[in-house]
Structure formats: structure tokens, C-alpha cells
């Protein structure tokens, strides 16, 4: 994807102090942001507006750092309507249900922690956003497969080469980085959150997307 000198390992080898490392790290984020197709990000916002207009639920799911992004994204989306004073988005982070996740993970399989929640909640027309750097997390894959089978819309915020989810999800926003560079990919996924949320807030404030 990039030369060793421009990879995370290369940057760390070249710059010993954190102060020296800061600027090339930010430059690398700019580089991988430049590889993202802006139309793929725009499509996510369009799908969210369509879901809002139809009263559909928007589910988010992710593991580890991506679980935090899922929580953040779902909460930011839920706040849009309140901020603007109009009916908002119905959003839910599947990564937040600690009791359910630990029960299913302990008693059945960690691969089922999202799909088990969706079994009775997710219906045709709902939206699932799976956030995964590798695109290969088994629980995210099962969730996307279930959402597709139920007639939902699936969005993958992915990294590296997209993995299995790039094939399964109907809509993909891909952050092309070297495999294993989780930090920059997670950084960019959070930037997507703030780009999409601020733009949707502006659209609703101006009366668009009613």
C-alpha cells in the first residue's frame, strides 16, 4: 500500500521523539484520507436520511476501538434531531449492551453477540453499520449477513483491503492503509462520524432531508 518509509513502522523508525513523530503521523492521515472515495461517504449520509424519513432503525456494531466508534457514532446521530429541533434519527449501538454481549459470548459464541441482538429487533428496511479495520471480524460478518437476509441495508466502514465485509456489505467506505495499522484507520473512521454528523445537522437545520 505504501513504502516502508511512509508506513507506521517506517515513521516510528525515522522519528525518535513524539514531537518529531507528530507531523509525519498527521501527514500520513492526510494521505490515507485522500484515498477515500468522497461519494462513498456521501452515500452513507443519504442512507441515513432515507432511514430517518421511513422511521427505520440504524444499528452500529464494532469490536475494541471500533466498538467505541460505534457508540460514539450512534450517540452523535441520536443527538442531531434534538439539536435542530426536528424529528431525529433512530440509532442504536449493538456494542453497548454489556449484559447481552457477555451472556451470549459466554453461553453461546462471541461470533453471535451482534446477530443475536438483531434477531428480533432488526427488520426489513433498517440499516446496519459495521465498523471493522480488518473487515473479517466474525461477529460483524454474521451481523451483516443477517441484515442482508432480513432485507436491510448494510454499510461497512472498513480498512486495509476491506476483508470479507467488503464483499458482504451493500455499501462500503474503505480506508486503504497497510494491514495492521489500526490506529490511523480508526482515526479516519471517527473523522467520518464528524463529517457525516455535522453535514446532516446542517442539512436538517436548513430544512433539507425532511
Residue 35: its pLDDT value, please? 95
- Whether 178 has a pLDDT exceeding 60, the answer reads yes
Compute CA 209 distance to the chain's CA centroid, rounded to the nearest angstrom. Answer: 22
| Least confident among 14-28, 46-60, 108-122 | 14-28
- Of the pLDDT bands very low, low, confident and very high (cuts 50, 70, 90), residue 44 is very high
Residues above pLDDT 70, as percent of the chain: 92
| Least confident among 29-33, 169-173, 205-209 | 205-209
- How confident is the model over 36-59, as a mean pLDDT? 98
| Least confident among 1-5, 8-12, 123-127, 151-155 | 1-5
Residues above pLDDT 90, as percent of the chain: 86
State the chain's mean pLDDT as an integer.
Answer: 93
- Whether 190 has a pLDDT exceeding 60, the answer reads yes
Q: Which of 139, 136, 124, 196 is nearest to 166 (CA)?
A: 136
C-alpha triplet 29, 30, 33: angle, nearest 5°: 85
- Whether 12 has a pLDDT exceeding 90, the answer reads no
CB atoms closer than 10 angstroms to residue 53: 11
CB 94 within 8 A of CB 122: no
Question: Distance (Å, rounded) from C-alpha 11 to C-alpha 72?
Answer: 29
Residue count of the chain: 210
Question: Distance (Å, rounded) from C-alpha 178 to C-alpha 10?
Answer: 12
pTM of the model: 0.92
Q: Where in the chain is the domain with CATH 3.40.50.10490?
A: 37-205
H/E element, 48: helix 38-54
pLDDT in tens, 78-99: 999 999 999 999 999 999 999 9
Residue 3: its pLDDT value, please? 45
- How confident is the model over 57-73, as a mean pLDDT? 98
- Of the pLDDT bands very low, low, confident and very high (cuts 50, 70, 90), residue 5 is very low
| CA dist list (Å): 197 to 36, 154, 158, 191, 194 | 18, 18, 18, 10, 5
- How confident is the model over 160-189, as a mean pLDDT? 97
Residue 11: its pLDDT value, please? 67
Say yes or no: domain 37-205 is CATH 3.40.50.10490: yes
More confident residue, 20 or 13: 20
- Whether 14 has a pLDDT exceeding 90, the answer reads no
Amino acid at each position: 500500500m505504501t513504502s516502508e518509509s511512509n508506513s507506521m513502522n517506517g515513521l516510528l523508525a525515522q522519528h525518535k521523539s513524539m514531537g518529531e513523530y507528530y507531523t509525519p503521523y498527521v501527514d500520513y492521515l492526510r494521505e490515507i484520507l485522500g484515498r477515500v472515495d468522497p461519494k462513498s461517504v456521501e452515500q452513507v449520509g443519504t442512507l441515513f436520511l432515507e432511514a430517518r424519513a421511513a422511521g427505520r432503525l440504524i444499528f452500529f456494531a464494532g469490536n475494541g476501538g471500533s466498538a467505541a466508534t460505534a457508540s460514539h457514532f450512534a450517540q452523535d446521530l441520536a443527538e442531531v434531531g434534538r439539536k435542530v429541533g426536528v424529528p431525529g434519527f433512530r440509532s442504536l449501538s449493538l456494542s453497548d449492551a454489556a449484559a447481552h454481549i457477555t451472556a451470549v459470548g459466554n453461553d453461546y459464541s462471541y461470533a453471535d453477540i451482534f446477530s443475536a441482538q438483531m434477531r428480533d429487533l432488526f427488520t426489513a428496511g433498517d440499516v446496519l453499520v459495521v465498523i471493522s479495520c480488518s473487515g473479517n471480524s466474525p461477529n460483524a460478518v454474521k451481523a451483516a449477513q443477517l441484515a442482508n437476509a432480513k432485507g436491510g441495508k448494510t454499510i461497512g466502514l472498513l480498512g486495509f483491503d476491506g476483508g470479507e465485509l467488503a464483499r458482504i456489505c451493500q455499501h462500503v467506505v474503505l480506508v486503504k492503509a497497510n494491514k495492521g495499522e489500526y490506529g490511523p484507520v480508526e482515526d479516519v473512521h471517527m473523522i467520518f462520524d464528524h463529517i457525516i454528523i455535522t453535514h446532516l445537522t446542517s442539512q436538517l437545520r436548513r430544512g433539507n432531508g425532511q
